[in-house]
Amino acid sequence: MIAKDILPLLAPIVIVQFLLLGYSIVHILRHDHYKMGNRALWLIVCILGMNFIGPILYLLLGREDA
The string of pLDDT tens digits covering residues 3-62 is: 778 888 888 988 989 999 999 999 999 988 888 889 999 899 888 877 778 888 888 888
Q: How confident is the model at residue 66 (pLDDT cuts 50, 70, 90)?
A: low
The structure's pTM equals 0.76
- What pLDDT score was predicted for residue 29? 92
* Pairwise CA distance, residues 55 & 10, whole Å: 19
* Pairwise CA distance, residues 29 & 63, whole Å: 11
- What pLDDT score was predicted for residue 7? 82
